[in-house]
Amino acid sequence: MNTRELTCIVCPRGCQLTAVLNDDGSVTVKGNTCKRGEEYAKAELTHPVRTLTTTVRTADGSVLPVRTAQPIPKELVFKAMKAVNALVLDRPVTFGDVVIADILGTGVDLIAAGIWNNVK
Amino acid sequence: MITKELVIIGGGPAGMSAAVAAFDAGVRDLLIIERDVKLGGILRQCIHNGFGLHRFGEELSGPEYAYRYEKMVAEREIPVKLNTMVLDITSDKVITATNSTDGVFQIKAKAVILAMGCRERPRGALAISGTRPAGILTAGTAQKLVNMKGCMPGKNVVILGSGDIGLIMARRMTLEGAKVHAVCELMPYSGGLARNIEQCLHDFDIPLYLSTTVVGIEGKEHLEAVTVAQVDDKRRPIPGTFRRIECDTLLLSVGLIPENELTKQAGLTLSPVTNGAPVDQDRMTDIEGIYSCGNVLHVHDLVDYVPEEAAIAGKSAAAYIKGDYSPAEAIPVKTDGKVRYTVPQKLTTRDEARLFFRVANIFRNVRIFVKDGENEIFSLKKIKVAPGEMESITLKKEVMEKLSGGELYIGMEVGE
Ligand SMILES: Cc1cc2nc3c(=O)[nH]c(=O)nc-3n(C[C@H](O)[C@H](O)[C@H](O)COP(=O)(O)OP(=O)(O)OC[C@H]3O[C@@H](n4cnc5c(N)ncnc54)[C@H](O)[C@@H]3O)c2cc1C
């Protein structure tokens, strides 16, 4: 059995969670006040994930906010940053449009969190 | 002179939400004035996620959250003047503003909503000895540079102050390849949210030093190093704990101050505690028809309650414009110091009233009470309260109707 004290990062409330990884591989969570907290704790003990928010360069030299549509494995965060920073966006996008599909084979898309349409 | 029923100064979440609420309550002759190139306010630079769970049940980034309100403004075709700076307001609600197409112009308004937001405390407000090289900036300025200009202020970073913006920038700079050597916090606790300590510092092994401050700055043209030291319980540096850290960037995240120059020009007196204008439950200031909401009223570290508060101001302004305004005798709301302040600071209603408040320190096992003279009219227990978190209580109509009319007193008993 493996017990961990966690601070939930799902919302500003920041609940203090106790998560127990049972011998059968299941996880028991205490201290959460919502379902998302339970999911967060389970993921922390099995495969931690994070939403990546950053910016991407655009063809006119500005930057545009982007984020992963869902959380991606935590250990891939820096690799994903590299992939985003290698890109120069050259087609117009608006909120929610896919900027990089299936980033690093995670099944998660990187989406625009702003509008860019200054194509020359 | 142009006339308007309602002018809203500032197009951040507060200004947009106030405008939408006023429109929905029937006001059509209204205008939002915003000095920036776009609506959205400070959230345009807050590209991280964690917004909107409370309001929209979805996890959004700052720009996405702001865009929701921008769309509500656009759908209602509420007029907006961008790139326009308000220079002055008088107590009889004459607004002077300027932009490059209209020059300097004046508007006489029936009602005004102040929604100018806040700004960060600059370094000048802090006494650090040493030189004044480049490379020292507020965390919010760094946030704007990195997130909106795509430009990194440095590679080796020390952060003074553990407010949320500092924590968020520790992560952001790390993701973009900088090394954050230390986050130093003068107080024995962090001013930031636990979730941000977790996901912005722990995730990246960035050390947080509590009861620690920056005591020296080195560098001629550009910052070369800072000296940090631990402080005692009177916040004096402890000899023998001095440590030099080489760095090219010092970010300051030492708090926010409401942007109230215009408020003062209108003749309003600011509360020394909130640095905003005192208001009643409608968010009306001491001048009839002038309202204040969002960060200009009191610092909201989180946007969560901002639109709600602004909607109260918008709806109340709409009622005032229609002549539907009959305040009851004002009841002042005082605090005991442990409860630092409340908003509103006075009640001119005998209907249900919600009081927002902040506490002065971290306290555990507390009982919050409200007294009307000797009479206790409300009591609530809480396991923990912290200065960084806005709390609220609601006084029900049954309680409000029975008030004596004297001062209300809100205080806190602290248990073991
Ligand atoms: C640097 C920084 C980072 C923050 N990060 C977060 C965060 O991560 N999460 C969070 O929940 N909250 C954050 N906050 C708090 C955030 O400010 C509030 O949650 C929210 O944005 C307040 O909304 P507002 O409309 O009151 O103010 P603002 O968003 O600041 O909007 C005020 C608007 O008024 C305009 N204005 C000011 N003066 C004039 C004038 N004279 N004439 C015309 N226009 C004027 C400004 O240009 C601005 O657009 C942050 C605050 C700051 C300062």
Which domains are delineated in chain B?
1-120+256-327 (3.50.50.60), 122-254 (3.50.50.60), 328-416 (2.60.40)
Q: What is the mean pLDDT of residues A13-29?
A: 87
Q: Which two tokens stand for residue B333?
A: 């709301």
Give the pTM: 0.93
Write down the mean pLDDT value for chain B: 94
**CATH 3.10.530.10 in chain A, residues?**
53-112
* Residues B130-178: tens digit of each pLDDT: 777 899 999 999 999 999 999 999 999 999 999 899 999 999 999 999 9
Cα torsion angle, B395, B396, B400, B402, sign: negative
Cα torsion angle, B14, B20, B22, B27, sign: positive
Residue of A12, A50, A113 lying closest to B193 (CB–CB): A12
User: Tokens 């320190």 label which residue?
Assistant: B361
SS3 B164: helix
Q: Which of A9, A70, A76, A78 to mutate to test the interface with B (most CBs of B within 10 A)?
A: A9
* Residues B330-350: tens digit of each pLDDT: 999 999 999 999 999 999 999
Residue of B150, B197, B203 lying closest to A62 (CB–CB): B150
CA distance B189 to B386: 10
* Residues A66-92: tens digit of each pLDDT: 999 999 999 999 999 999 999 999 999
Nearest residue (by CA) to ligand 1, atom 19, is B303
> Is a pLDDT exceeding 70 seen at residue B125?
no
Residue of A nearest to B202 (CA): A7
SS3 B408: strand
User: Tokens 């106790």 label which residue?
Assistant: A18
Residue of A nearest to B173 (CA): A54
Contacts with B92 (C-beta within 8 Å, 6 or more apart), sequence order: none
Q: What is the mean pLDDT of residues B359-369?
A: 92
User: Tokens 């100064």 label which residue?
Assistant: B9
- Residue B153 and residue B249 in contact, taking contact as beta carbons nearer than 8 Å: yes
Q: Which two tokens stand for residue B250?
A: 């010092």
- Residue B345 and residue B332 in contact, taking contact as beta carbons nearer than 8 Å: yes
A-chain CB neighbours of B304 within 8 Å are: 12
A-chain CB neighbours of B197 within 8 Å are: 7
SS3 B288: coil
**Under an 8 A CB cutoff, do A57 and B150 touch?**
yes
CA distance B384 to B128: 33
CA distance A36 to A15: 11
Tell whether ligand 1 has an atom less than 6 A from the beta carbon of residue B193: no
* Residues B55-77: tens digit of each pLDDT: 888 889 999 999 999 999 999 99
Q: How far is the CA of A46 from the centre of ligand 1 (A)?
A: 38
- Residue B211 and residue B185 in contact, taking contact as beta carbons nearer than 8 Å: yes
Using CB atoms within 10 A of its CB, is residue B108 exposed (0-12), middle (13-18) or buried (19+)?
middle
**Under an 8 A CB cutoff, do B199 and A9 touch?**
yes
Q: What CATH superfamily classification does A53-112 receive?
A: CPE0013-like (3.10.530.10)
* Residues B80-120: tens digit of each pLDDT: 999 999 999 999 999 999 999 999 999 999 999 999 999 98
What b/e sequence results for B274-312 when a residue is b if at least 16 CB atoms lie within 10 Å of its CB, and e otherwise? bbbbbbbbbbbbbbebbbbbbbbbbbbbbbbbbbebbbb
CA distance A112 to A104: 17
CA distance A19 to A62: 43
CA distance A119 to A89: 10
What proportion of chain B, given as a percentage, has pLDDT over 70? 99
* Residues B178-236: tens digit of each pLDDT: 999 999 999 998 888 888 999 999 999 999 999 999 999 999 999 999 999 999 999 99
B136-138 and B249-252 strand pairing: parallel
Contacts with B374 (C-beta within 8 Å, 6 or more apart), sequence order: none
Tell whether ligand 1 has an atom less than 6 A from the beta carbon of residue B295: yes
Q: What is the mean pLDDT of residues B8-17?
A: 98
> Is a pLDDT exceeding 60 seen at residue B124?
no
Specify the pLDDT at position B394: 96
**CA B114 to each of CA B9, B27, B77, B264, B396: distance values in angstroms, whole numbers, following the listed order:** 5, 17, 21, 11, 28
What proportion of chain A, given as a percentage, has pLDDT over 70? 99
Reference A57, options A84, A18, A75, A35; nearest CA is: A84
Give the number of other Cβ atoms within 10 Å of residue B406's Cβ.
Answer: 12
Tell whether ligand 1 has an atom less than 6 A from the beta carbon of residue B310: no
Mutate to test the pocket of ligand 1, among B9, B39, B42 (most ligand atoms within 8 A of CB): B42
- Residue B12 and residue B294 in contact, taking contact as beta carbons nearer than 8 Å: yes
Q: What is the mean pLDDT of residues B257-272?
A: 95
The pLDDT confidence band at residue A4, using thresholds 50, 70 and 90, is: confident
> Is a pLDDT exceeding 90 seen at residue B123?
no
Write down the mean pLDDT value for chain A: 92
Q: Write down the H helix ranges in B322-369.
A: none
Q: Strands (DSSP E) along B268-362, which ranges? A: 290-292, 331-335, 339-343, 346-347, 353-359
Q: How far is the CA of B70 from the centre of ligand 1 (A)?
A: 14
The helix (H) or strand (E) run that includes residue B67 is helix B62-75
Tell whether ligand 1 has an atom less than 6 A from the beta carbon of residue B15: yes
CA distance A84 to A71: 15
Task: For chain B, count helices (H), then strands (E).
Answer: 9, 28
Q: How far apart are the first and last CA of chain A?
A: 59
Q: Which of A11, A17, A40, A110 to mutate to test the interface with B (most CBs of B within 10 A)?
A: A11
DSSP letter (8 states) at residue B175: H
